[in-house]
Amino acid sequence: MLVWLWNIANPKSFTSRGPATPPNPSINLTSVSGPILTPKPIWQYLGFFFDRKLTFHYHAHFYATKCLSTLNTMKLLGNSSQGILPIQKQLLYRTCILPIALYGFQLWFFKKAPIYKNIAKLKKMQHRATLWITGAFQTSPLEGIEAIAGLVPIFSHLQKLNGCHYLCYASVPPSHAINSLLDLQHAKDQPPHKFSMSSLTPKQQAKLTSPIKDVNERLSKITKTFHPLHPLLSPGSRVVNRFSSRIASHSPPSSSDEDLFKHIQDLNITFCQSQCLPYHTAVIADGGVKKNNVTTAAAHIWLDNHVVNQPQIQTMNITSVGAELMAIYIGLTPAMAIDDTHNITIITDSIVATKKILESHVNPYQNIALPLIANIKLFLRRDRQNTIHFWYCPSKAEWPRHKLVDDQVKATASTPTLPSKNSFLFSRKKECDNILKEWQVSFSSSQKKDQLFLDFEDEKERVLKPTYVKGGSWLPSIGFSNSLCTRFTHMTTGHAPISEYCQRFFPNSPTSCPCSKVDVQTREHIVMQCDQYKQSTRPCNTVINSFVHFLADNPSAFSFDNG
């Protein structure tokens, strides 16, 4: 009905492409000297393709096909023997093709949505890209070559993007239309819409399949973090604007060792002055996150060369910057309350945390930063002599007094507290970590990557696991040569131009190796025994670089020129 109405209002907004069935009803206006309006099955708006059933099959098909065409054109830039390097191909795919393929995926990708057809199209597109990057055969198992190319499976990638996308609704301003559709606790004081989640009965909510329901679930798990229109951040009220001469941050001009050394010398002088001069106090703050997600934040308050207070706090499920910010909060707040204190020097190893206090942008640390900014404002307003100076002291400098706090944080036993809500950034990190973990677990136990898939180790003798971070686990070692990458992929998957593999398709063809030592030319024979290849670099372990050296030393191994 909506499509039909739109066609009457704006016939040009419909595209002529799309499936022919089922037809929409046409409207005959010949009786009033008008045309016969025949609606098209697909409506295009802002690059989104709407169909009558809102399946978005055509939308996914359109962008997947567009990307397949782009991939075909990109083959001009490089193939399996020359042109741009595999690592550049991967970068090109991730930055220029994937965002186009997934444009508007939020329309059709949500829990319990029928997504099989759309995923299949995108999977086909990614398969083509993987073959281009690795130079593998069409028949090579997708799961294995995706891992070699450092590309996360398309379904997992969508899950990750979708999880992060839902969390972003926590940052929208109160006037945003979506708030009125959410539960009352997330509505930010917006009156509920008649179709909002809060208007539905529990039974209706259980039956509902909608992204709004998923957003509600995600927002219920995180702490309220964003305050886009907080009065402390409004122009004219910001601390850095009102007290710009009395609050400052000091950090080295560059990360070079010389600049850092000079900066630490200045820090030493400043700290000594703060302990000798009257009305001065120094605070050293540090925070850390343990593997069980327990965060410890600690601070030392120095007065007259003595630590007069050592506040410490433990919490859960926040990021390391949040921990640093919390350490500054618990150190600075009691320091500002000390009688006759006018000048405070606060020393931290996080520039980012300092920026979150001094900058006035909307950010995910506002729930910690805003109470601190309010306290700083009160302190600076109390007396015209009052000043606060932030000093950066990186942990690698091992400045003795900062190291004391650092050691205290590391030595503190981390006891998980009661289950609590996650911070916004912690939740986002968890979304990514969970997807990566699921991929690694399914890859290690999966049969789809083929039984022949070789497991390698890194230099520290850890089995390589698939990842999309820093180009993946395999590609950084092999991605600097097209030929090497192709032959390595052939070797790893077992889908290589050797008689062991060719037998699958040509059972009557000769199978012996040109060296005449074995009846069947196998992968193990080529790597470990064959006289056709140089002996000097034969791998003696399962470290990936040993095999890379062997392939680099024998350009004919696992290539079509292997005799």
Which residue lies nearer to Zn ion by CB, 21 or 516? 516
Q: What is the DSSP string of 17-69?
A: -S---SPPPPEE-GGGT--EE---S-EEETTEEE-TT---HHHHHHHHHHHHH
Element containing residue 477 per DSSP (H, E): helix 475-478
Which residue lies nearer to Zn ion by CB, 187 or 527? 527
Q: Does 498 bind Zn ion (CB under 5 A)?
A: no
Q: Which of 344, 513, 551, 557 binds Zn ion (CB under 5 A)?
A: 513
Q: Does 148 bind Zn ion (CB under 5 A)?
A: no
Residue with tokens 């007065």: 303
d(C-alpha 268, C-alpha 27), whole Å:
83
HEC readout, 294-309 = EEEEEEEEEECCEEEE
Q: Does 515 bind Zn ion (CB under 5 A)?
A: yes
Minimum distance, C-beta of residue 552 to Zn ion, in the bound complex (Å): 19
d(C-alpha 275, C-alpha 432), whole Å:
45
Minimum distance, C-beta of residue 540 to Zn ion, in the bound complex (Å): 19
Query: Among residue numbers 516 through 555, which ones bind Zn ion (CB under 5 A)?
Result: 530
Minimum distance, C-beta of residue 515 to Zn ion, in the bound complex (Å): 3
d(C-alpha 253, C-alpha 142), whole Å:
48
Minimum distance, C-beta of residue 562 to Zn ion, in the bound complex (Å): 9
Stretch that binds Zn ion, among 307-315, 400-408, 436-444, 509-517 (CB under 5 A): 509-517
Minimum distance, C-beta of residue 514 to Zn ion, in the bound complex (Å): 6
What tokens appear for 438 in the block?
């699921």
Which residue lies nearer to Zn ion by CB, 113 or 515? 515
* CA-closest candidate to residue 239, choices 52, 433, 378, 34: 378
Minimum distance, C-beta of residue 497 to Zn ion, in the bound complex (Å): 14
Which residue lies nearer to Zn ion by CB, 27 or 515? 515
Minimum distance, C-beta of residue 290 to Zn ion, in the bound complex (Å): 53
What type of residue sits at position 421?
A: K
Which residue lies nearer to Zn ion by CB, 128 or 525? 525
What CA–CA distances, in Å, run from 365 to 279, 320, 351, 425, 454? 31, 11, 14, 9, 44
Total site size for Zn ion, rule CB under 5 A: 3
Which residue lies nearer to Zn ion by CB, 79 or 511? 511
Which residue lies nearer to Zn ion by CB, 119 or 515? 515
d(C-alpha 438, C-alpha 152), whole Å:
11
Stretch that binds Zn ion, among 103-111, 195-203, 501-509, 511-519 (CB under 5 A): 511-519
Minimum distance, C-beta of residue 499 to Zn ion, in the bound complex (Å): 10
Minimum distance, C-beta of residue 530 to Zn ion, in the bound complex (Å): 3
Query: Among residue numbers 311 through 370, which ones bind Zn ion (CB under 5 A)?
Result: none
Stretch that binds Zn ion, among 143-151, 348-356, 420-428, 506-514 (CB under 5 A): 506-514
SS3 content of the chain, % helix, strand, coil (to 5): 50, 10, 40
Which residue lies nearer to Zn ion by CB, 432 or 502? 502
Minimum distance, C-beta of residue 554 to Zn ion, in the bound complex (Å): 12
Which residue lies nearer to Zn ion by CB, 102 or 498? 498
Does residue 315 contact residue 346 with C-beta atoms inside 8 Å? no
Stretch that binds Zn ion, among 55-63, 281-289, 479-487, 513-521 (CB under 5 A): 513-521
Minimum distance, C-beta of residue 509 to Zn ion, in the bound complex (Å): 16
Residue ranges of E strands in 34-189? 36-37, 43-45, 48-50
* CA-closest candidate to residue 286, choices 248, 316, 235, 330: 330
Residue with tokens 């997934």: 102
**DSSP secondary structure code for residue 474 in this structure:** S
| Span between the terminal Cα atoms of the chain, in Å | 66
Which residue lies nearer to Zn ion by CB, 115 or 496? 496
Which residue lies nearer to Zn ion by CB, 205 or 529? 529
d(C-alpha 426, C-alpha 369), whole Å:
16
Residues that bind Zn ion (CB under 5 A): 513, 515, 530
